[in-house]
Amino acid sequence: DVGQVKTGRKRLSAFAAASIVLVLVAAAFLWWQTKNKPGKEALAPAEVTASIAVLPLENLGPEDEEYFADGMTDALITHLSKIEALKVISRTSVMQYKGVQKPLPEIARELGVETVLTGSVLHGGDRVRISTQLIQAATDRNFWAESYERDLRDILALQGEVAQAIVAAVEVKIDPEVEARIATSKKVDPEAHEAYLMGLAAASEFFSERPVQEDLFHAAVGHYQRAIELEPEWAQPYARLALVYQARAGLGGPDLQWEYYPKAKETALRAIELDDTVAAAHAALARVLWNHEWNWAAAETHYLRAIEVDPNQGPWRYSRFLRLMGRHDDAIEFLNEARERDPTSLGLRYRTGLNYLCAGRFSEAEAEARALLEGAPDRPGGHELLGRAFLHTSRYEAALAEFETIREELER
């Protein structure tokens, strides 16, 4: 009725006024940033000559050790991602196929890869056995298979050995420096490694659950701290702990930010001191430098280093930094690169749409919003993007309808 229309228009007017204020503030901020823009240019994407998806390894042990197989999957993805010539699908996309019965050629088409790795893990006592096979997607042909069994203290060397064998099988060129990093001989306390894998499992849930689940946060922190206590010279637990700390800071108010950003910085710096090639540490440190200390030049340096040592780790994080620095075209380029490696991510589609909005490319933002709604009709992100695209193109009634849909969803 007329009253509802007037009320809706008042809401829209208030929303539009608030949006104008935000735009003016952002414009002033971005003008200042342009004058003080870091001099280092964004990295150009490397030439990719082969592609692979490491599907979740099957756990052949007790059901409560599922985290062990998932951790081994994560380790192989991390090792292979260091190779510039190899496009490796991210953990986020491949874990969606855990337990899914689907023809491998179909999975390969959905992920946009030529090769699929499948396999299993059996962890028993102080031994671990990994069996793997490579499938050529176009023909569904198994062209390489191997099994490995090692003492748990040699687990890091085993992961590197498997990764090197995969690289040889898919025939991609590997830089000698990267090959040396993968082929580690470091031994690790089995209890520390188990704590680290349990930390990965808890952290994965913490990152994905909303609202914030404090028990998952504390579980991840506790497991990583236990791994550090047992193996104080191992960089990975420090780096992953830094990511959890910076995420908690970013999801809280000022008190949590002042508590956890310094902790994230301290642990990230310790990880880098132990091993400068751990991308997660650079990514965590970059977020602290940018979001907490406002040291944008140093933040960009660490984002670029994260991408340099692991193309799966940095691009989507760096794209957010670029967007807020007003460098929208660069942000979109790195988001597109991230989506090549994480093709099923709805979060990356949302971020792409947001960057298109900020760049004034409203038709492209609208297309991303509609695709997001098609993939996740019950999530508010698509309605938000679509409403903002309508607002920027003067389709006010359509914008109001999208925002009302969000309100109705939140009130349910």
Of 100-104, 300-304, 393-397, the range with the lowest mean pLDDT is 100-104
The amino acid occupying position 230 is L
Once rounded to an integer, what is the mean pLDDT over residues 141-152? Answer: 95
Query: According to the model, what pLDDT value does residue 49 have?
Result: 81
Q: CA 69, 72, 74, 80: dihedral to nearest 10 degrees?
A: -140
108: amino acid identity, one letter: A
Mean pLDDT of 239-253: 95
Backbone phi and psi for residue 184, each to the nearest 5 degrees, phi listed first: -80, 150
| Amino acid code (one letter) for 209 | E
Which among 39, 68, 48 has a CA at the least distance from the CA of 312?
48
Measure CA 21 to chain center: 32
8 A C-beta contact, residue 351 and residue 383: no
Q: What percent of the chain has pLDDT over 70?
A: 89
pLDDT category, 177, cuts 50, 70, 90?
Answer: confident
pLDDT at position 17: 43
Q: What type of residue sits at position 18? A: A
CB atoms inside a 10 Å sphere around CB 323: 22
Residues 6+ apart with CB under 8 A from 348: 316, 335, 338, 339, 342
pLDDT above 90: residue 32: no
Answer for the pair 74, 200: CB distance below 8 angstroms, yes or no.
yes
- The C-alpha atoms of residue 338 and residue 169 are separated, in whole angstroms, by 25
Whether pLDDT at 113 is above 70: yes
Ranking 60-69, 107-116, 137-146, 305-314 by mean pLDDT, the lowest is: 305-314
Average pLDDT of the residues of the chain: 88
Please give the pLDDT value at position 175: 86
What pLDDT is attached to residue 46? 54
Q: Check pLDDT > 90 for residue 378.
A: no
Per-residue pLDDT, 39: 36
215 C-beta neighbours (distance < 10 Å), count:
10
Q: What was the pLDDT predicted at 9?
A: 45
What's the confidence (pLDDT) of residue 43? Answer: 53
Say which residue the tokens 């949590």 belong to: 256
Across the range 312-318, mean pLDDT stands at 83
**Residue 36 pLDDT:** 45
Q: Confidence band (pLDDT; 50, 70, 90) for 107?
A: very high
What is the mean predicted confidence (pLDDT) over 135-148?
94
Which residue do the tokens 């579980």 mark?
Answer: 219
What is the C-alpha radius of gyration for the chain, rounded to an integer number of angstroms?
23
Measured distance CA(244)–CA(221) in Å, rounded: 7
Residue 29 has pLDDT above 70, yes or no: no
What's the chain's length in residues?
412
